[in-house]
């Protein structure tokens, strides 16, 4: 039976990347029934919303989607589609595999890690009090009564980390590790300084780890983790982190494997999962058939694994890796110099992957 999947082309270079990825996913032989839906800047211009209800309804109905990047114009008043998606669907986990494929120029060729980032809590929860505001003054006075002094001219962001949020993200990390043959989960934190937020995250992580004794568990203080990732990346496997550290380490991981054009992602919730590249809409290359579709294609590989099409996922990942290893039919960013005339376009990269899969 065909898998019903919501397909969101997005804007900027999104539609080209999504089309290339859709073709490769279909070439695996897995059957899809695509439910194409709009999101982003273009639909905002037409309908006054970047995220129409019919798009959300489609994802809720299908429980799974793949999405091209969407632009968030600065100062336009429209909210990020990605933030809306995460909130509406409670996509609490962001999974970002960072694997250095042979043929990519990187200083860290041993890298093969999976970052599992909590998506809903922490300093990104949006609980903020502007300097000089009435609410800020109320909060400072309440803190004063509790014996804590905060300077009058301070802006304040609150960092909530709950037992509930920590438990489900660490469980997700262990379940990903098990489903994907991974051996170890590392929890990263700053529990020595933030005892009641990161400290709780660590305490819960240790409790959850006891339920999964077949997978090794360790913890690292976040600064030490960053140091070790760039000196001994081969020692790390699955890394689970609260929201802020997860955001930063995700980009560190993308840099370690050769750039944004190669970093896939999946946002997972209890009711739905949405797969998309880590990078943005790269609007300056819109319509030029130029940018690298690898990150979105590898997000497609994650999608295949999510729907238990492991064999197809394996074949698709191997074909992408082989095209990159050969280094001939690859986009400009994977060539030794960015103006290399032998670079191919987004669509031709997809052709090369399909050709490789059919061999």
Which residue from 191, 295, 352, 354 is in contact with ligand NAD, where contact means CB under 6 A?
295
The verdict on whether 190 is a catalytic residue reads yes
* 289 is a contact residue toward ligand NAD (CB under 6 A): no
Q: Figure out which of the listed residues 61, 183, 232, 284 binds ligand NAD, where binding follows CB under 6 A.
A: 284
Query: Can residue 281 be called a binding residue for ligand NAD (CB under 6 A)?
Result: yes
Annotated catalytic residue: which of 122, 247, 290, 333?
A: 247
CB 18 within 8 A of CB 11: no
d(CA 306, CA 278): 18
252 closest CA partner among 236, 271, 273: 236
β-pairing, 156-157 with 128-129? antiparallel
Distance CA 40, CA 22 (A): 19
Interface with ligand NAD includes 71 (CB under 6 A)? yes
**Beta strands 128-129; 184-189: pairing state:** unpaired
CA distance 235 to 227: 12
Q: Which of 295, 328, 334, 300 shows the shortest CA–CA distance to 314?
A: 300
DSSP string, 159-170: ----HHHHHHHH
Please indicate whether residue 195 is annotated as part of the active site: no
In the complex, residue closest to ligand NAD by CB:
280
Burial of 29 (C-beta count, 10 Å sphere; 0-12/13-18/19+): exposed
| Separation between Cα atoms, residue 330 and residue 356, nearest integer Å | 13
Residue with tokens 């194409």: 36
Instruction: Give min distance, CB of 23 to ligand NAD, in A.
Output: 16
Active site residue 124: yes
Radius of gyration of the chain (CA): 21
Which CB, 170 or 273, lies closer to ligand NAD? 273
Does the protein bind ligand NAD through residue 279 (CB under 6 A)? yes
Binding range to ligand NAD, per CB under 6 A, among 42-50, 120-128, 150-158, 273-281: 273-281
List % helix, strand, coil for the chain (3-state, nearest 5): 45, 15, 40
Q: How far is the CB of 71 from ligand NAD (least distance, A)?
A: 4
Query: Closest Cα to residue 124, out of 240, 243, 247, 222?
Result: 243
Nearest CA to 288 among 24, 44, 17? 17
Residue closer to ligand NAD, measured from CB, 72 or 162: 72
Q: Tell me whether residue 11 is one of the annotated catalytic residues.
A: no
Touching ligand NAD, residues 308-347 (CB under 6 A):
333
Q: Which stretch binds ligand NAD (CB under 6 A): 130-138, 203-211, 227-235, 277-285?
A: 277-285
Q: Which stretch binds ligand NAD (CB under 6 A): 63-71, 113-121, 133-141, 234-242?
A: 63-71
**How far, in Å, CA of 163 to CA of 183, rounded?**
25
Q: Is 15 in the site for ligand NAD (CB under 6 A)?
A: no
Comparison of 10 and 165: residue with beta carbon closer to ligand NAD? 10
Q: Which of 220, 292, 302, 353 binds ligand NAD (CB under 6 A)?
A: 292
Q: Provide the minimum distance between the beta carbon of 202 and ligand NAD in the complex, in angstroms, as a whole number.
A: 29
* Spatial distance between the Cα atoms of 180 and 176, rounded to a whole number of angstroms: 6
Residue of 98, 215, 282, 319 that binds ligand NAD (CB under 6 A): 282
Does position 65 interact with ligand NAD (CB under 6 A)? The reply is no
Q: Which is nearer to ligand NAD, 79 or 141 (CB)?
A: 79
Instruction: Pick the binder of ligand NAD from 37, 58, 62, 70 (CB under 6 A).
Output: 70
Q: Hey, what are 293's tokens?
A: 């579709």
For the CB of residue 4, give the shortest distance to ligand NAD in the complex, in Å. 22
What distance, in Å, lies between the first and last C-alpha atoms of the chain? 25
Please, what is the minimum distance in Å from the beta carbon of residue 289 to ligand NAD?
12
Encoded tokens for 124: 């990104």
- Is residue 253 within the footprint of ligand NAD (CB under 6 A)? no
Q: Which of 124, 176, 236, 245 is catalytic?
A: 124
Binding stretches for ligand NAD (CB under 6 A)? 69-72, 82, 260-261, 276, 279-284, 291-292, 295, 333
- List active site positions: 124, 190, 223, 247
């Amino acid at each position: 039976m065909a898998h019903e999947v919501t397909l969101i082309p997005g804007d900027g270079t999104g539609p080209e990347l999504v089309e290339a990825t859709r073709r490769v996913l279909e070439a695996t032989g897995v059957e899809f029934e695509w439910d194409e839906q709009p999101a982003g800047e273009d639909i905002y211009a037409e309908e006054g919303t970047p995220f129409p209800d019919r798009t959300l309804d489609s994802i809720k109905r299908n429980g799974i989607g793949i999405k091209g990047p969407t632009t968030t114009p600065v100062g336009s008043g429209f909210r990020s589609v990605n933030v809306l998606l995460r909130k509406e669907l409670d996509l609490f986990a962001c999974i970002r595999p960072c694997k250095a494929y042979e043929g990519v120029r990187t200083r860290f060729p041993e890298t093969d890690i999976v970052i599992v980032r909590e998506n809903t809590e922490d300093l990104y929860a949006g609980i903020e009090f502007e300097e000089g505001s009435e609410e800020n003054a109320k909060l400072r006075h309440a803190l004063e009564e509790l014996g804590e002094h905060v300077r009058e001219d301070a802006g304040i962001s609150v960092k909530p980390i709950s037992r509930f949020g920590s438990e489900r993200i660490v469980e997700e990390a262990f379940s990903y590790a098990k489903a994907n043959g991974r051996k170890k989960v590392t929890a990263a934190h700053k529990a020595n300084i933030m005892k009641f937020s990161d400290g709780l995250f660590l305490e819960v992580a240790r409790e959850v780890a006891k339920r999964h004794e077949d997978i090794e568990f360790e913890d690292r203080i976040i600064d030490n983790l960053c140091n070790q990732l760039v000196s001994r990346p081969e020692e790390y496997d699955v890394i689970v982190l609260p929201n802020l550290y997860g955001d930063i380490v995700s980009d560190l991981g993308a840099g370690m494997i050769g750039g944004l054009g190669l970093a896939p992602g999946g946002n997972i919730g209890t009711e739905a999962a949405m797969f998309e590249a880590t990078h943005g809409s790269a609007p300056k290359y819109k319509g030029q058939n130029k940018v690298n579709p690898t990150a979105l294609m590898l997000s497609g590989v994650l999608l295949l694994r999510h729907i238990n099409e492991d064999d197809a996922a394996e074949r698709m990942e191997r074909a992408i890796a082989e095209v990159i290893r050969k280094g001939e039919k690859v986009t400009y960013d994977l060539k030794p110099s960015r103006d290399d005339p032998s670079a191919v376009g987004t669509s031709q990269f997809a052709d090369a992957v399909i050709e490789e899969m059919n061999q």
